[in-house]
Structures are given as C-alpha cells and as structure tokens.
Amino acid sequence: MDGAGALEDTFRWPADSDAAADMDLIAERVRALLRNDPAPLRGVGLAVPAVCGTDGTVLTWPGRPSWVGLDLTAAVGRVFPDTPSVFADDGDLAALAEAREAGVANLLYLGVGTGIGGGLVVGGRSWPGPARGSCEVGHLLIDRDGPRCDCGRRGCVQAVASGPATLRRAAELRGRETDFPALVEAFAAREPWARAAVDETAAALARAAVGICELAHPEVVRVGGGFAAGLPALVDSVAERVRELARPGVPPVEVRPAALGGRSSLRGAVLLAEETFGTAHRAGAAAVVEHPRPRG
C-alpha cells in the first residue's frame, strides 16, 4: 500500500518463460493484491513495451519474443474476465503521466533502459494517438553508419544510447567486459572509458531530443528509465548537449529527470484506464518495464 492508498506490487518474469506463463504470473500477483482490498475493478490499463497492432495483436517485442502473435486483449480478458481493459505503449503513457505531473500540455519523454522508449504529448494528448501508432523515439535514425539495431536498421537512437548499447561501448573502451555497477562506479571516479561511453549516449539522446523539439516544441524534456535512474549524471549530460545544439535565437528546452521515476508508465496506465472507463470508477494498472541486464 503506497502513500496514496494504492495497492502496488513489483516482480520479474523468469527469463525463459513464455507468454502464457507470464500472464499466469500477472493473474497470481493481482489476485494476491486484491485479497487486501476486494472492491471490484472497473477498468484496467496496461503499459507495454511492445509494438501492437490496432486489433491488439503483439507484432514485435525483442525482450519477450514468445509474445509475438499474442492477442493481448484476449489474454488480458482471461486475467480480468469481468473488467474492461485498455492498453498503450509504455513510453506514450510515461509521457502522459509526466506531462500531468509537470502541469504542462507539451512534453517529450525519453526512457533509457533495455531499449529507448519515449513519448510525446502535444496539446495535452499523446501524439500521434492510438489509432496511428506510438511515438518510437528509439527508432529515430541519427547515424546511418551506426551500429545495427534490434529492428534490423543501422543508426537508431536505441542502437547507440540504450543501456545494453552503452555497456557494450564501455566494454570496448575498457578492453574487457563490464557491468552496470562497474560503469556507475567508474563514471563517478572519472575513468576515461566510462566517461566516453556515457558521453556518447548523452550525445545521441540530445540529438534525438533536439530534432523532435524542432518539430514539436515541447515545454520540457523528461528523461527516465532504469538506466537513467541508476546514473543520474546522464540527465545532466543530455541537458548540456541540448544547450550546445541550440540554434541562435531559439532557447534550449529544459531537460530534467523524470519526476515519477520508475512509476511513469504505471501512472500513465492508471490515467488511461480512468479516462477510458470514467474517473469515478476504481482503476487498476500494470506496467511492464524492461531494465538493462548486467553483463560480465
């Protein structure tokens, strides 16, 4: 039970489980939560880091390949048989929640974790909107000769700036395998290899942010995700690079850490359920958040 009276649980799926087992675990944990507060749910919102079709079919999800082809709406319906559900991209929902928290109508969110998530809020609403897909910040092309991305292209932001990409670069610069705690420690100690690895990540994120800002003009940029949360100096580096890239006469956008931390997507899922099914009803939410896994 958190300070706002919400029931909350956090857990990890086994790395080798399939979609059916994953959904069974969700059902088990939800049932355990509801034993503490048996009032019926009126709506369920889900934040998912997968690409889904408008019919609810999972099209791609590198982190959970067994989910590809899953009818997400039907699968969630089996977990919550008497409750309507709605889902959206985790980055889009994180952006929506961060915008509400900041009290602004226009915001860009960058989520740095296993991949690069992100979302854009324009005029108080997620852009481009559920009927037109999600805001795939991680697949903006910033270097046509860059490393290959999970999507098959070269030079995506995700291929340069995600947690695993940063750790791979750090290992190359260091000359041996490294993991996230070692990177954080070395960065704080100003080790050249760690600084160089993180600087390239910050530069890639800044290039993406500035490009989007030239089109959408958000009032603020928020940077979140597990990797960014574990390395707070990354946000400062992104802000510095954004200032360096500002055009004359155009004030640089303010870059800040995500105000909601690791709960941005979860809070966004609650907002989605409340707005879809009515704010007077009790809403539940689930957020699947991918974190960079240590190497070495």
205, amino acid identity: L
Stretch 31-60: mean pLDDT: 83
For 152-205, how does the pLDDT look when each residue is reduced to its tens digit (9 = 90+)? 899 999 999 999 999 999 999 999 999 999 999 999 999 999 999 999 999 999
Using alpha carbons, select from 184, 200, 186 the residue that is nearest to residue 237.
Answer: 200
pLDDT at 270 over 70: yes
What is the pLDDT at residue 293?
A: 38
Stretch 88-114: mean pLDDT: 94
Stretch 131-136: mean pLDDT: 71
Query: What's the angle, vertex CA 225, arms to CA 224 and CA 229, rounded to 5?
Result: 75
Average pLDDT, the chain: 86
What is the pLDDT at residue 279?
A: 53
For 233-253, how does the pLDDT look when each residue is reduced to its tens digit (9 = 90+)? 999 999 999 999 999 988 999
Residue with more model confidence, 204 or 296: 204
pLDDT at 290 over 50: no
Instruction: Compute the distance between CA of residue 257 and CA of residue 162 in angstroms, rounded to an integer.
Output: 16
Range list of H helices, 138-263: 157-161, 163-174, 180-188, 192-216, 226-230, 233-245
**Which residue pairs, CB below 8 angstroms and at least 24 apart, start in 142-149?**
142/204, 142/207, 142/208, 142/211, 143/204
What is the pLDDT at residue 172?
A: 96
pTM comes to: 0.86
Instruction: Compute the distance between CA of residue 92 and CA of residue 108 in angstroms, rounded to an integer.
Output: 9
Stretch 217-229: mean pLDDT: 94
Stretch 264-268: mean pLDDT: 89
For 194-212, how does the pLDDT look when each residue is reduced to its tens digit (9 = 90+)? 999 999 999 999 999 999 9
Helices 192-216 and 233-245: angle between axes, nearest 10 degrees: 50
What is the pLDDT at residue 1?
A: 34
For 272-282, how does the pLDDT look when each residue is reduced to its tens digit (9 = 90+)? 888 888 754 45
Stretch 55-61: mean pLDDT: 88
pLDDT at 34 over 50: yes
pLDDT at 287 over 70: no
pLDDT band, very low/low/confident/very high, at 286 (cuts 50, 70, 90): low
pLDDT at 111 over 50: yes
